[in-house]
Amino acid sequence: MISFNYETDFLLENEEAVSSWISQTISAEGFKEDDINYVFCDDAYLHKLNVEFLNHDTLTDIISFDYSVGKIIQGDIFISVERVADNAKDFNTPFEEELHRVIIHGILHYCGYKDKTDEDANEMRNKENHYLMQMV
């Protein structure tokens, strides 16, 4: 089950459509969905998690805590709406597109995709683009 939680004034307008899209992505990647919690927050909230749990004193757009077991996807995904908005401006991309990219990025990590090397990052970006086309 996918749930959306809010620690800021932001509200996802199309929760049902986004939830269905995430579920379809998980299935297409050959995984099964369990409890996945999205938490939309601001920079300060996510920065605190980044410092406390990852020892990174930086701003980021997403932090995911993966509790998956085998092919069963579960976890908590925290997204800074402020960071997504800034990134959308920097990349000259509509906010909703950047938000969807970050939403699916967390799921792709749970499916085993990495982004630390250039090669892995390119593969991740290609998968993001593929699934973004499914959301339209």
Is residue 123 pLDDT above 80, yes or no?
yes
Known binding residues are: 105, 109, 115
Q: Where are the domains of the chain?
A: 2-135
> Nearest-5° angle of CA 16, CA 90, CA 51?
75
Cα separation, 80 vs 43, whole angstroms: 5
For the beta sheet containing 32-41, the strands, ordered from the edge strand earlier in sequence to the opposite edge, are 2-6, 32-41, 72-80, 62-66
Q: What is the pLDDT of residue 136?
A: 61
Question: Which residues have a Cβ under 8 Å from the Cβ of 7 and sit 6 or more positions away?
Answer: 39, 40, 41, 42, 45
Tell me which architecture the domain covering 2-135 has in CATH.
3-Layer(aba) Sandwich (3.40)
Statement: the pTM of the whole predicted model exceeds 0.85: yes
State how far the Cα of 41 lies from the Cα of 135, in Å rounded to an integer. 23
pLDDT of residue 135: 83
Q: How far apart are CA 59 and CA 78, in angstroms?
A: 12
User: Does the structure show a pLDDT above 70 at 103?
Assistant: yes
User: What gap in Å lies between CA 18 and CA 22, rounded to an integer?
Assistant: 6
Q: β-pairing, 32-41 with 2-6? A: parallel
Side chain identity at 94, as an amino acid letter?
A: P
Query: Which amino acids are annotated as binding site for Zn(2+), given as ranges?
Result: 105, 109, 115
